Structure 1
Amino acid sequence: MRHIPVVRRQRLGEELRRLRRSAGLTSGQTARLLGWHQSKVSRIETGVSGVRDGDLAALLDALGIEDQRLRSLLRALAGTADGTPGWWTAYSSVIPPTYRDFIALETQASTAHTLETSVVPGLLQTSSYARAVTRAALTGKPDGTVDSLVDVRLTRQEVLTRDESPLRLHAVIDEAVLRREVGGPGVMRDQLRRLTRLARLPQICLQVLPFTAGGYAGLTGPFVIFSFPNITDLDLVILDHLTNSLYLERKEDLEAYRVAFDAMRAHALSTEDSLDLIAGISDGA
């Protein structure tokens, strides 16, 4: 089993402990049900050890957890989500395990708060814009690789429009994102028009940080905060890159990013004014 970020291992353990207690079981009783030593249950619940896919499935069975979405999320947190073939497994040759983990978590998340300082958020990109960004970032890569990465980015967007519990997205973007002509004027004009259409969906909130806002905490780079259903205090901060992603390890980081995001929301234009700004730039493109 590959290494998973400490924050996920610890929070997985905390959630499993909560579920065990809700089931009215002690760690010793759980261990006996599974034929394990009690220390194995304790190591998993404290985050000292990871848990293999088969062991996690057996543990959830013992705890009476039948909610398939919850089971899938816990598998994603455990780094065993590849055991359930998701659409992203077809792209294993071009995206690394950390990016596949990111997609698995994004698929299970209920809410995402994201800041973008240089490009349109991946979940909101047009195919032409996504191709231009990918091509610029991966100069010299074969066309087939670029095509696959664009496919991944576009398929990810289905979380916003799925029939059951679409992802709620709150995106704050720097004004520079709107004015940088990625792919040329035509590509950018289509991208801006797509933003105005998507921003009117009830599950999407889009705000622009205007140049007049001056400096702000997020200038150091983009990030996303995922929140999940049916889980207690399990928000995650992830730095999402084109082909990789980094998970922050400390709870202090999560709090710092929450505070920073709230501050940026307060300094950003309202959703209505943001749409007016985007429309104005689009009309002039």
Structure 2
Amino acid sequence: MERVPAVRRRRLGEELRRLRDLAGLTSGEAATLAGWHQSKVSRIETGRSSVRAEDVTVLLDVYRVHDLAVRDLLGTLAGKGYQRGWWHDFRDVLPVEYRDFITLETGAARARSMENTVVPGLLQTPDYARALTADVMPQLDRRELDALVDVRLARQAVLRQDSPLELWAVLDEAVLRRGVGGREVMAAQLRKLEEAAELPQVRLQVLPFAAGGHMGVTNSFVIFSFPRIADLDVVVVDHLTGSLYVDRKEDITAYTAAFTRLHARALPREESAAMIAGIRDELSG
């Protein structure tokens, strides 16, 4: 993993200081309980130096923070390459970046997604997920393919939990017309999108070809926002060989503004649902 960016270090430090205050400890007391010098706690809280995920774990133990979602999220922000969760059983087939993505997705309160190529993983059917994964990664053997499809489907639990993830997805029309898996697979996938669009926690819009060129055609991206931790949005940008994690405040602002412009150009929810249904009818006819 690359060195943790300075902005993320500062945000991580601010959150650790907040948790220390909630625990009723001074920085000196926290350092004593952790077996450190006070200056180490100070450097971590001000973001002046990098912090290891192991050090974050020590502090969270000292502060008696037991919420696994918070622990995993802060571990990710510290540059931790692996956070234990339900995906632990799939660690042999999941790249580090994908594990980090799942951790962020699991801990997020809201995700704003611009997709210009494929259906978002949280809304894919099993057949679509299998066909897509097999096409994109033909080198996989059957066991690896099955595991990655299982992971894709397991991720969707965030939309069904007690406090579900709020998903706002803008889909380029190309997503709906790309024939992943053939006509029957795509027809079923579009039906699932219609059903998902009716969920209160999902907002789905289509950006039609008629809208012309737009900033979303260059890269798909997701903006994650988190509960309990203010000012901690993270953008994940897809590219050819992986994902780029963006957390500089000015970049977050730019991507947020881009998403605002994209959803303003997209069809309203009702018209989007009608377009999805129309394309599905074409495939089923």
1:187 to 180, 185, 188: 185
In structure 1, what is the Cα distance between the partners aligned to 2:79 and 2:86? 16
The SS at the match of 1:172 is strand
- Within-5 A mapping of 1:154-169: 154-162=153-161, 164-169=162-167
- Asked whether the 8 Å contact 2:82–2:96 carries over to 1, the reply is no
**Change in CA separation of 1:165 and 1:90 when aligned onto 2, cut-off 3 Å:** same
Mapped partners of 1:229, 1:122: distance in 2: 22
**More deviation in 275-284 or 44-53?**
44-53
The AA in structure 1 aligned to 2:218 is: T
Q: Where in structure 1 are there 5+ consecutive unaligned residues?
A: none
For the 8 Å contact 1:159–1:166, the answer to whether it is kept is yes
1:41-190 aligned at under 5 Å gives the runs 41-47=41-47, 48-53=49-54, 55-63=55-63, 65=65, 67-80=67-80, 82=82, 85-162=84-161, 164-190=162-188
Q: Which 10-residue stretch deviates more, 6-15 or 37-46?
A: 6-15
Which residue of the other structure, out of 198, 201, 225, is the alignment partner of 1:200?
198
Does the 8 A contact of 1:111 with 1:169 survive in 2?
yes
Mapped to 1, the partners of 2:188 and 2:144 lie a distance apart of 24
Pairwise CA distance, 1:10: 3.3
> What is the Cα deviation at residue 79 of structure 1?
4.3
Q: C-alpha distance in 2, partners of 1:241/1:145?
A: 22
Gaps of 5+ in 2: none
Question: What is the one-letter code of the residue matched to 1:198?
Answer: A
- Match of 1:126, as an amino acid? T
Identity within the alignment, %: 57
Equivalent residue, structure 2, for 1:15: 15
Mapped partners of 2:41, 2:260: distance in 1 = 38
- Greater Cα shift, 86-95 or 184-193: 86-95
In structure 2, distance between residues paired with 1:241 and 1:160 = 25
Q: Secondary structure at the match of 1:113?
A: strand
Alignment partner, residue 32 of structure 1: 32
How far apart, in 1, do the equivalents of 2:130 and 2:153 lie?
10
Letter in 2 for 1:203: Q
* Matches for 1:214-253 after TM superposition, within 5 Å: 214-240=212-238, 244-253=242-251
Mean CA deviation greater in 227-236 or 34-43:
34-43
Deviation string for 1:117-145 (max 9, x for gaps)?
01111110111111111111112322222
Deviation of 1:95 after TM superposition, in Å, equals: 1.1
Give secondary structure in 2 for the equivalent of 1:173.
Answer: strand
Deviations 1:1-46 (A, max 9, x none): x656425433211211233345565433432343311221123223
After TM superposition, the score normalised by the length of structure 1 is: 0.90
Letter of the 1:49 partner, please give it: S
Residues 142 and 61 from structure 1, CA distance in 2 versus in 1: closer, same or farther, beyond 3 angstroms? closer
Deviation of 1:193 after TM superposition, in Å, equals 0.4
2:234·2:247 contact (CA, 8 Å) conserved in 1? Answer: no
TM-score by length of 2: 0.90
- Higher mean displacement: 214-223 or 63-72: 63-72
